[in-house]
Structures are given as structure tokens and as C-alpha cells.
Amino acid sequence: MFPAPAVEKTRETVGSFIEQMIDMKELLATHQLREFKEGSIVKGHVLEVRPREVLIDIGYKSEGVIPISEFEDMEDLQVGDEVEVLLCRLENDEGMVLLSKERAAYRQNWEKIVKVFHDSGIIKGKVRSVVKGGLTVNIGVEAFLPGSQIDIIPPKDLQQFVGNTYEFRIVKINDDRKNVVLSRRELIEQERADKRARFLDSTKPGDVVRGAVKNLTDFGAFIDLDGMDGLLHITDMTWGRLTHPSELLKVGQEVEVVVLEINREKERVSLGLKQTQKNPWEETEGRFPVGTKVKGKITNLVPYGAFVEIEEGVEGLIHVSELSWTKRITRPSDVLALGQEIEAVVLGINKEEQKISLGVRQLEANPWEEIEHRYPIGKQVKGIVRNMTAYGAFVELEEGIDGMIHVSDMSWTRKVNHPTEVIKKGDELEAVVIDIDKNSQRISLGIKQLEEDPWKTIEARYKIGDLVKGKISKIATFGAFVQLDGDIDGLVHISQISEDRVDKIKDHLKIGQEIEARVIKVDKAERRIGLSIKAAAYDEEEIKREAAAFDSLRPGEDMVGLEQAFAAAEEYRPGETRRR
């Protein structure tokens, strides 16, 4: 007989052995029931995480191994985690089971991806890397995102998307090759279209909205209103002058603008920035009455004047003619510079057209106001010939004050066709003030007025019957002009050249030829002297008869006034070749 304690202990040992045998039998039965087939998907548990691989227990006689690169979120991987894997090979050369987590996921996800594609659904994915032409994206399988489908405007730097998760639309699937092509742009465009529709439905002119500057052009800026693009024209950016939108805005800047106009059919929105501020032109008439002196900065120079900003958003124009009373300013840039501080006088305001006329010369006294006291009519003055035209010469009397000598006021006796016959540019000469037009700022001068008019005493110098000598100076069809003493011209009518009939004067007389003739007509009122070559040898009675015959000529044949006759005459000037 064994002692009771010994018998009890033996019973416990036998019981424990029997239980172990039962557990082993159940375990063997379980392994016999599971079939491990290469290419199948099985569940396993993480046994160990190594630097290069992860050991997985799938219930087989040996552990399986998966490269660590197949696990995306290593930080969250814990021993004991359950994973689904693809059984690639039951045993390798080292007796290990080869598994793949990625291939298992790929097979599981493919059907899901195909269904999303056919349903035109949306799928999430994480950008893995930059490849030629676009990006690779993990959506459960590796997919391709072309560069043109990343955003509405293809980005230049693709690296900025790597590691980020986005939503995509599947645009193409190749079931045989297991290729997937994605588009993020389609979703963005659809989202923007939805936002545009909501904006157009809910917004009206006058509303104040916020947006970001999307793009700048020469004519304005495009503002992104959260999916809806609006145009902010350069003229609606500020009440002041703006040469280019970049002077006020920059891309990415957030702005608050007013909706000015909406075209729902064309989906166009016009915006205003200056309308968010008070119009400075509303009270310009009260703040800047005509005659007020103002200070400002020159903002722009143009050929016709200078723009001056007298306060923010308010500019005035100084016309070139308002820069000086006397100086001849051709271009404002000759006397002014951009950014220059300047003082001016308000000359006029047009609030509707937002224009202010300014003047600088009004800061000083107008020298023309008292011009008649400084240059009274009849005063003898001196000056320099500054410029000449076909009708006269301009003489500078002082800086900015010119007088003009008309060709008719250059000689009492000569018909001056051009001022260069008498004077030349740069000459210093004397003249007499003969008229003043203060309103037009003109002073008329005369040279001939420096001397007594010889025609006043012509009857004392030349009497009918006098025998005179002179030189042919001009030839016309009706006669020849003769230059007499005292720079006075007389006219030999064609009928007074010879006793014989004269058809062509040039056959009898030449320019420059000296002749002797009788005075047969003196007309002080018409300033003309009639001469006769054929009467040079006549006696007193014959001269009287010839003078009477000369007076009886018809108007068409008669000697015309010198003023009109000279215009048609052929003229001789010393040093010139005679015309034939």
C-alpha cells in the first residue's frame, strides 16, 4: 500500500500528462485542417520586428518573413499585430516561409479600385515619389498621376507633393497590366465649378468679398474668390494714378473687394478695390477752390504737361503752357523731374471727369500785364534776331519776351519777300514798337520806322520831266522796274521802252542794265513812279503828252502798285545769277 499523499501526487501527474496530450492532439488536428497553399492570402501575427525584416507567425511549422520596406507606418507596428499576407513560398533555402504584405493588399485592393473606377467614385492615396512625367501614388496599388493632372495649373516643383495624401479620380485602368492612371485636377475643377455656381447664385453687385491675388497683368489682377475668378481692373484699384498693378498688389495677397458687375452667363465678375474707400474727388471743389495754392509731388511727365498728386488719389495737371509766362518750354521734363515736390495754383476743377487744372506761372506776376508801360508804342528797342519765318523775324527783347518784325515793316521802298533779304539770325538790331496785343502776348516791331518815310517827300525829290538814271532790278510781263537813288523803284511800262512796238521786254532790257529815263508819273498815294526810256530825248511838250497818254492806260495795262507788281516780277540781286 502506498501512502495517501503519494497516491494523490501520482494522480495529478497523470492528469496533467493526459491534458497535455489532449492539447497536442487538438493542435495537430488544427494544423491538419489548415491548408497552406502558395499564392493564397492568410492571416498572421507579428513575432518580431528586425532592422530589415519582420517575422510573422501564420501557424505553419516555421515563421514567415516580410521585408520591412513593405510596412509604411513602422511607428505603429507592434508585436502581436494581426496582418494579412500573401503566401509566396512555403520554404526557402533557409527553411523560412516567404510572405508579402504588399501583394496581399494589392490583390485585395484591385477589385475595390475597379469598382470605384466603374462607379466614377473618389479614392484616397499617398504620393510616394516623383517619376518621369508625374508622380506615383499608393492607393492600395501603385498608380500614376500625370503632371498635367496634378492641379489646374501644372506645378513646377513636384517634390512638394511627395508624402502628402490627396483624393483622386481614377481616369484609366488596364486590367491586364494592372495599371491605374489618376487625376486630381478633375476633382479640383469640379470643386471650383461647384463653388462658382454657389458664388453666382448667392452674390450680387455691391457685395464685399474676400479673395487672394491669383495673377497680375498689365491691365489688372485676377482675384481667386475661393473657386471663382474675378477681374480687378487697374482703373478700379485706386483713386490715384497707377502705372502697373504690381505697384499696389502682389500674387498671393489677400484683398477685400466690391463686386461691381456679374455676368452669370459668361461667369465673369468685375471687382473694385478703390470702391471700398471714400472717393476723394467728392469734396475736391470745397477743399481746393480755384486760386488756392497747393503742394504736391510730380507723378508723371508727358509731352503736354506734368501730373501732380496733391493728396492721395487726387492728381492735377500742369499744362506745359502754364509753366512760365515768358520761357519757351517745349517739354515739361526740361524743367521738372519725377518725384519733385512742387507748388502750384488751382486754375479749374471738373469733378465729373476728375480733373484739376494747375498752374505754376500764376505764382508770379504776369509780365504781360504791364507790357505797354515797359514797351510803349513808338519806343525804340534793341534785340537779337532769334528766329525767322517766311513772313517775318522774331526778336528777343528780354528773356521770354519777343517782338515780331513783319516783312512789310522792313523797308519803305523795297518789296521784301523774305526777311533774310534784310537781316539774318543772330543779328543785333534796333526797331520801333508799332503795336501791342496784350491778350495774344504779341509785340509788333518795325525797322523801317527808324527812318522817315521817303514817300512823304517824294514830290520834292522827283518831278515830272526829270531825267534820272538807274539800274534794271526786276522784269515783269508788263514792264521793268528801275532802282533809283534812295533805294526807290520806278516802273518803265512796256509801252515806254521804245518808239517801236515791244513784244518781249527781255529782247530790249536785261536785269542789271543801267538806263536813263524821264519821270512821267509820280503817285504819292500809290507809292509809284512812272518812267519812260523813249522819252529821255523828248522836249517839255512831248513829255507832257506822254504823261497824259500814260495816265489814260486801261487798268489792265496800267502800272499796278509795287506791292502787287513785285510778286510777279523777275528780280536781280547782287551776287546772284540772272534768270533768263
- pLDDT tens string 95-152: 788 888 878 877 777 878 888 888 888 889 999 999 999 999 988 788 999 999 998 8
CB count, 10 Å around CB of 150?
Answer: 21
Residue 477 falls within a domain, yes or no?
A: yes
Residues 464 and 538 in one domain: yes
Residue 24 falls within a domain, yes or no?
A: no
pLDDT score for 444? 93
Percent of the chain with pLDDT over 90: 22
CB count, 10 Å around CB of 255?
Answer: 18
**Interval 88-94 mean pLDDT:** 77
**Are 45 and 59 a contacting pair, CB within 8 Å?**
no
Q: Which amino acid is at 139?
A: I
At 25, list the grid cell: 492532439
Work out the pLDDT band at 5, boundaries 50, 70, 90: low
Residues 460 and 559 in one domain: yes
Listed residues 130, 155, 188: the one ending a domain: 188
Of 65-69, 218-222, 328-332, highest mean pLDDT: 218-222
**Are 387 and 394 a contacting pair, CB within 8 Å?**
yes
Query: How far is residue 149's CA from residue 125's CA, in Å, rounded to a whole number?
Result: 15
Q: Is the pLDDT of residue 12 over 90?
A: no
Q: Is the pLDDT of residue 24 over 70?
A: no
Residue 196 falls within a domain, yes or no?
A: no
Q: Is the pLDDT of residue 162 over 50?
A: yes
Residues 93 and 129 in one domain: no
Work out the pLDDT band at 15, boundaries 50, 70, 90: low
pLDDT score for 19? 55
Residues 136 and 151 in one domain: yes
Length in residues, the chain: 580
Residue 576 falls within a domain, yes or no?
A: no
Q: Which residue has the higher pLDDT, 458 or 19?
A: 458
pLDDT score for 23? 52
Q: Which amino acid is at 18?
A: I
Listed residues 104, 130, 152: the one ending a domain: 104
Nearest to 134 by CA among 158, 164, 160, 156: 158
Residues 560 and 471 in one domain: yes
Start-to-end Cα distance in the chain:
180
Query: How far is residue 301's CA from residue 299's CA, in Å, rounded to a whole number?
Result: 7
Residue 512 falls within a domain, yes or no?
A: yes
pLDDT score for 384? 92
Which residues form the domain of 505? 455-571
Nearest to 167 by CA among 124, 116, 112: 124
pLDDT score for 13? 52
Query: How many structural domains is the chain composed of?
Result: 6
In sequence order, what DSSP letters do the residues of 221-260 get, joined into one string?
EEEE-SS-EEEEEGGGT-SS--S-GGGT--TT-EEEEEEE
pLDDT score for 568? 47
Residues 486 and 563 in one domain: yes
Listed residues 403, 418, 450: the one ending a domain: 450
CATH code of the domain covering residue 125: 2.40.50.140
Work out the pLDDT band at 483, boundaries 50, 70, 90: confident
pTM above 0.75, yes or no: no
Q: Is the pLDDT of residue 511 over 60?
A: yes
Residue 579 falls within a domain, yes or no?
A: no
Q: Is the pLDDT of residue 440 over 90?
A: no
**Interval 282-309 mean pLDDT:** 88
**Are 46 and 80 a contacting pair, CB within 8 Å?**
yes
- For residues 517, 521, 525 and 528, what is the CA-based torsion angle, rounded to 10 degrees? -30
**Are 284 and 349 a contacting pair, CB within 8 Å?**
yes
pLDDT in tens, 372-381: 888 899 999 9
Beta pairing class for 514-523 and 467-475: antiparallel
Q: Which residue has the higher pLDDT, 7 or 412?
A: 412
Residues 389 and 488 in one domain: no
Helix (H, G, I), strand (E, B) or coil at 59: coil
Residues 413 and 478 in one domain: no
Cα three-residue angle 333-339-344, rounded to 5 degrees: 75
Nearest to 490 by CA among 502, 514, 511, 473: 473
Residue 195 falls within a domain, yes or no?
A: no
Mean pLDDT of the chain, nearest integer: 82
**Are 94 and 106 a contacting pair, CB within 8 Å?**
no
Work out the pLDDT band at 232, boundaries 50, 70, 90: very high
Query: How far is residue 467's CA from residue 485's CA, in Å, rounded to a whole number?
Result: 12
pLDDT score for 559? 43
Work out the pLDDT band at 79, boundaries 50, 70, 90: confident
Residue 483 falls within a domain, yes or no?
A: yes
Q: Is the pLDDT of residue 485 over 50?
A: yes
